[in-house]
Amino acid sequence: MRLNLSSSAPHIHPAFDWNPDVGTDELVMYRNPEFRVEGGLRECKRGKRSFKFVEDELWLVMHGFAQFRRDSGEVIDAEPYVAVHFKEGWTGEAEIGEDMRMSYMRCLGEPGEITPVLRDVANVGPLADWGAVSTRIIGISEKYGIQMSRAVAPRRAETGIWSCTPGTWRCEVKSDEFCHFLAGNSLYTNDNGEQIEIVPDTLAFFPAGWKGICEVRETVRKVYMIR
Protein backbone atom coordinates (compact mmCIF):
# COMPACT_ATOMS: atom_id res chain seq x y z
CA MET A 1 0.00 0.00 0.00
CA ARG A 2 1.38 3.41 -0.98
CA LEU A 3 1.05 5.84 1.92
CA ASN A 4 2.14 9.50 1.82
CA LEU A 5 0.96 11.51 4.80
CA SER A 6 3.58 14.26 4.38
CA SER A 7 2.27 15.23 0.93
CA SER A 8 0.67 18.61 0.24
CA ALA A 9 -2.45 16.44 -0.20
CA PRO A 10 -2.05 13.34 2.02
CA HIS A 11 -3.00 10.21 0.07
CA ILE A 12 -3.23 6.42 0.28
CA HIS A 13 -3.48 3.74 -2.41
CA PRO A 14 -5.07 1.24 -2.49
CA ALA A 15 -7.29 2.19 0.44
CA PHE A 16 -9.28 -1.05 0.34
CA ASP A 17 -6.06 -2.95 1.17
CA TRP A 18 -5.52 -1.12 4.46
CA ASN A 19 -4.88 -3.60 7.26
CA PRO A 20 -4.64 -1.90 10.67
CA ASP A 21 -1.83 -2.82 13.01
CA VAL A 22 -2.69 -4.83 16.10
CA GLY A 23 -4.18 -2.53 18.73
CA THR A 24 -4.90 0.17 16.15
CA ASP A 25 -8.34 0.91 14.71
CA GLU A 26 -7.67 4.20 12.92
CA LEU A 27 -5.28 5.84 10.48
CA VAL A 28 -5.61 9.64 10.48
CA MET A 29 -4.56 11.23 7.19
CA TYR A 30 -5.32 14.82 8.08
CA ARG A 31 -6.47 16.66 11.19
CA ASN A 32 -7.13 20.34 11.83
CA PRO A 33 -8.44 20.82 15.41
CA GLU A 34 -9.05 24.54 14.83
CA PHE A 35 -11.77 23.78 12.30
CA ARG A 36 -12.71 20.34 13.74
CA VAL A 37 -11.76 18.57 10.52
CA GLU A 38 -10.36 15.03 10.35
CA GLY A 39 -10.15 12.29 7.75
CA GLY A 40 -8.63 8.87 7.21
CA LEU A 41 -9.39 5.17 7.64
CA ARG A 42 -11.17 3.39 10.49
CA GLU A 43 -12.07 -0.12 11.62
CA CYS A 44 -15.07 -1.15 13.77
CA LYS A 45 -14.98 -4.64 15.23
CA ARG A 46 -17.87 -7.13 15.16
CA GLY A 47 -20.48 -6.75 17.89
CA LYS A 48 -22.95 -4.21 19.22
CA ARG A 49 -21.86 -0.66 19.97
CA SER A 50 -23.34 2.78 20.52
CA PHE A 51 -22.62 5.82 18.34
CA LYS A 52 -22.97 9.55 18.90
CA PHE A 53 -21.74 11.91 16.19
CA VAL A 54 -20.80 15.38 17.46
CA GLU A 55 -19.94 16.62 13.95
CA ASP A 56 -21.17 15.48 10.54
CA GLU A 57 -19.28 12.38 9.41
CA LEU A 58 -19.11 10.64 6.03
CA TRP A 59 -18.30 6.92 5.84
CA LEU A 60 -17.54 4.98 2.67
CA VAL A 61 -17.72 1.32 3.68
CA MET A 62 -14.93 -0.80 2.20
CA HIS A 63 -15.37 -4.11 4.04
CA GLY A 64 -17.88 -5.70 6.41
CA PHE A 65 -21.53 -5.22 7.27
CA ALA A 66 -23.56 -3.47 9.97
CA GLN A 67 -27.10 -2.41 10.69
CA PHE A 68 -27.49 0.99 12.32
CA ARG A 69 -30.57 1.80 14.38
CA ARG A 70 -31.00 5.46 15.15
CA ASP A 71 -32.75 6.46 18.37
CA SER A 72 -35.47 7.99 16.19
CA GLY A 73 -36.22 4.54 14.67
CA GLU A 74 -34.38 4.98 11.37
CA VAL A 75 -32.60 1.80 10.18
CA ILE A 76 -29.55 1.84 7.87
CA ASP A 77 -27.87 -1.22 6.36
CA ALA A 78 -24.20 -0.52 5.63
CA GLU A 79 -22.09 -2.72 3.37
CA PRO A 80 -19.22 -2.26 0.86
CA TYR A 81 -19.63 0.64 -1.59
CA VAL A 82 -22.30 2.29 0.56
CA ALA A 83 -21.71 5.91 1.61
CA VAL A 84 -23.43 7.12 4.78
CA HIS A 85 -23.53 10.75 5.92
CA PHE A 86 -24.18 10.78 9.67
CA LYS A 87 -25.56 14.17 10.64
CA GLU A 88 -24.53 16.21 13.67
CA GLY A 89 -26.23 14.87 16.80
CA TRP A 90 -26.95 11.42 15.32
CA THR A 91 -27.27 8.89 18.15
CA GLY A 92 -28.06 5.19 18.06
CA GLU A 93 -26.61 1.68 17.99
CA ALA A 94 -25.08 -0.61 15.42
CA GLU A 95 -25.06 -4.38 15.19
CA ILE A 96 -21.79 -5.04 13.36
CA GLY A 97 -22.11 -8.47 11.79
CA GLU A 98 -18.66 -8.48 10.20
CA ASP A 99 -15.63 -6.32 11.03
CA MET A 100 -16.05 -3.05 9.12
CA ARG A 101 -13.42 -0.87 7.52
CA MET A 102 -14.25 2.49 6.02
CA SER A 103 -12.73 5.73 4.79
CA TYR A 104 -14.10 8.73 6.66
CA MET A 105 -14.10 12.48 7.09
CA ARG A 106 -15.78 14.56 9.74
CA CYS A 107 -16.35 18.30 10.00
CA LEU A 108 -18.90 20.80 11.27
CA GLY A 109 -22.34 20.27 9.76
CA GLU A 110 -25.90 20.48 10.98
CA PRO A 111 -28.58 18.19 12.48
CA GLY A 112 -30.91 16.28 10.18
CA GLU A 113 -33.89 14.01 10.66
CA ILE A 114 -32.91 11.78 7.72
CA THR A 115 -29.47 10.17 7.25
CA PRO A 116 -28.32 10.58 3.62
CA VAL A 117 -27.23 7.25 2.10
CA LEU A 118 -25.88 6.37 -1.36
CA ARG A 119 -25.60 2.73 -2.40
CA ASP A 120 -23.38 1.22 -5.10
CA VAL A 121 -21.40 4.46 -5.27
CA ALA A 122 -19.21 3.19 -8.11
CA ASN A 123 -22.21 2.91 -10.44
CA VAL A 124 -25.13 4.87 -8.99
CA GLY A 125 -26.75 7.35 -11.37
CA PRO A 126 -27.83 9.23 -13.28
CA LEU A 127 -25.39 12.02 -12.46
CA ALA A 128 -26.55 15.62 -12.83
CA ASP A 129 -24.75 17.91 -15.29
CA TRP A 130 -22.69 20.37 -13.22
CA GLY A 131 -21.17 22.18 -16.20
CA ALA A 132 -17.65 22.58 -17.52
CA VAL A 133 -14.57 23.37 -15.46
CA SER A 134 -14.11 27.13 -15.84
CA THR A 135 -10.32 27.21 -15.35
CA ARG A 136 -9.49 25.00 -18.33
CA ILE A 137 -6.03 24.95 -19.92
CA ILE A 138 -6.35 22.06 -22.40
CA GLY A 139 -9.66 20.54 -23.49
CA ILE A 140 -13.05 20.98 -21.85
CA SER A 141 -13.60 18.93 -18.72
CA GLU A 142 -17.27 18.38 -17.95
CA LYS A 143 -18.40 17.83 -14.36
CA TYR A 144 -21.25 15.58 -13.21
CA GLY A 145 -22.46 14.54 -9.79
CA ILE A 146 -24.97 13.65 -7.12
CA GLN A 147 -25.27 15.81 -4.02
CA MET A 148 -26.04 13.73 -0.94
CA SER A 149 -26.28 16.57 1.54
CA ARG A 150 -25.33 20.22 1.88
CA ALA A 151 -25.49 22.29 5.06
CA VAL A 152 -27.24 25.65 4.94
CA ALA A 153 -24.47 27.50 6.80
CA PRO A 154 -21.29 28.29 4.82
CA ARG A 155 -18.09 26.27 5.38
CA ARG A 156 -20.02 23.27 6.67
CA ALA A 157 -20.45 19.74 5.37
CA GLU A 158 -21.33 18.92 1.78
CA THR A 159 -21.16 15.34 0.44
CA GLY A 160 -21.81 13.46 -2.77
CA ILE A 161 -20.46 11.88 -5.95
CA TRP A 162 -18.32 13.89 -8.39
CA SER A 163 -17.17 12.92 -11.87
CA CYS A 164 -15.02 14.79 -14.38
CA THR A 165 -14.12 14.07 -18.02
CA PRO A 166 -10.59 14.41 -19.49
CA GLY A 167 -8.85 17.75 -19.74
CA THR A 168 -6.24 19.90 -18.01
CA TRP A 169 -7.20 22.77 -15.73
CA ARG A 170 -6.07 25.06 -12.95
CA CYS A 171 -7.06 23.75 -9.51
CA GLU A 172 -7.33 26.03 -6.47
CA VAL A 173 -8.95 24.26 -3.51
CA LYS A 174 -11.04 26.70 -1.49
CA SER A 175 -12.43 24.20 1.07
CA ASP A 176 -10.95 21.18 2.82
CA GLU A 177 -11.89 18.21 0.64
CA PHE A 178 -11.89 14.47 1.24
CA CYS A 179 -11.83 12.39 -1.94
CA HIS A 180 -12.14 8.62 -2.30
CA PHE A 181 -11.55 8.06 -6.02
CA LEU A 182 -13.44 5.09 -7.46
CA ALA A 183 -12.53 5.24 -11.16
CA GLY A 184 -10.35 7.03 -13.68
CA ASN A 185 -6.84 8.42 -13.83
CA SER A 186 -5.53 11.92 -13.17
CA LEU A 187 -2.39 13.76 -12.15
CA TYR A 188 -2.37 16.64 -9.68
CA THR A 189 0.76 18.84 -9.78
CA ASN A 190 1.13 21.21 -6.85
CA ASP A 191 2.61 24.67 -7.45
CA ASN A 192 5.65 23.46 -5.46
CA GLY A 193 6.26 20.79 -8.12
CA GLU A 194 4.96 17.76 -6.21
CA GLN A 195 2.99 15.31 -8.36
CA ILE A 196 0.15 13.16 -7.01
CA GLU A 197 -1.00 10.27 -9.17
CA ILE A 198 -4.69 9.40 -8.83
CA VAL A 199 -5.90 5.92 -9.82
CA PRO A 200 -8.94 3.90 -8.70
CA ASP A 201 -9.12 3.42 -4.91
CA THR A 202 -6.88 6.38 -4.10
CA LEU A 203 -7.93 8.18 -0.91
CA ALA A 204 -6.74 11.80 -0.85
CA PHE A 205 -7.27 14.84 1.34
CA PHE A 206 -6.83 18.26 -0.29
CA PRO A 207 -6.60 21.00 2.37
CA ALA A 208 -8.01 24.46 1.72
CA GLY A 209 -5.40 26.56 -0.07
CA TRP A 210 -3.96 23.72 -2.19
CA LYS A 211 -3.04 25.12 -5.64
CA GLY A 212 -1.81 23.47 -8.80
CA ILE A 213 -2.74 21.83 -12.10
CA CYS A 214 -5.07 18.87 -12.58
CA GLU A 215 -4.71 16.68 -15.66
CA VAL A 216 -7.61 14.25 -16.01
CA ARG A 217 -6.49 11.47 -18.34
CA GLU A 218 -9.47 9.15 -17.93
CA THR A 219 -12.87 10.18 -16.55
CA VAL A 220 -12.65 10.17 -12.76
CA ARG A 221 -15.35 9.43 -10.22
CA LYS A 222 -15.10 10.00 -6.48
CA VAL A 223 -17.06 10.16 -3.24
CA TYR A 224 -16.37 13.50 -1.58
CA MET A 225 -16.91 15.58 1.52
CA ILE A 226 -16.04 19.27 1.62
CA ARG A 227 -16.52 22.02 4.15
pLDDT at 184 over 90: yes
DSSP secondary structure letter of residue 166: S
What is the arithmetic mean of pLDDT over 204-212?
97
Cα-Cα-Cα-Cα torsion 215, 216, 220, 222, nearest 10 degrees, comes to 10
Domain spans of the chain? 8-118, 128-226
CATH class of 8-118: mainly beta
Task: Give residue 52's pLDDT.
Answer: 97
What is the arithmetic mean of pLDDT over 151-172?
96
> Does the fold of domain 128-226 match that of domain 8-118?
yes
What span, in angstroms and rounded, lies between the C-alpha atoms of 130 and 94? 36
Q: What mean pLDDT is reported for the chain?
A: 97
What is the arithmetic mean of pLDDT over 18-29?
91
What are the CA-CA distances from residue 199 to residues 86, 90, 202 (Å)? 27, 33, 6
Task: Give residue 208's pLDDT.
Answer: 94
Burial (0-12, 13-18, 19+ Cβ within 10 Å), 67: middle
Task: Give residue 179's pLDDT.
Answer: 98
Q: How confident is the model at residue 154 (pLDDT cuts 50, 70, 90)?
A: confident
What is the arithmetic mean of pLDDT over 88-105?
98
Q: What is the pLDDT of residues 128-140, one digit of tens each?
A: 999 999 999 999 9
Q: Which residues contact 87 (CB under 8 A, 6 or more apart)?
A: 53, 56, 109, 110, 111, 112, 115, 116, 149
Task: Give residue 201's pLDDT.
Answer: 98
- Gap between the terminal Cα atoms of the chain: 28
Percent of the chain with pLDDT over 70: 100
Q: Which CATH superfamily is domain 128-226 in?
A: Jelly Rolls (2.60.120.10)
pLDDT at 60 over 90: yes
What span, in angstroms and rounded, lies between the C-alpha atoms of 62 and 60? 6
Do 83 and 59 meet the contact criterion of CB atoms below 8 Å apart? yes
Q: How much is the pTM? A: 0.96
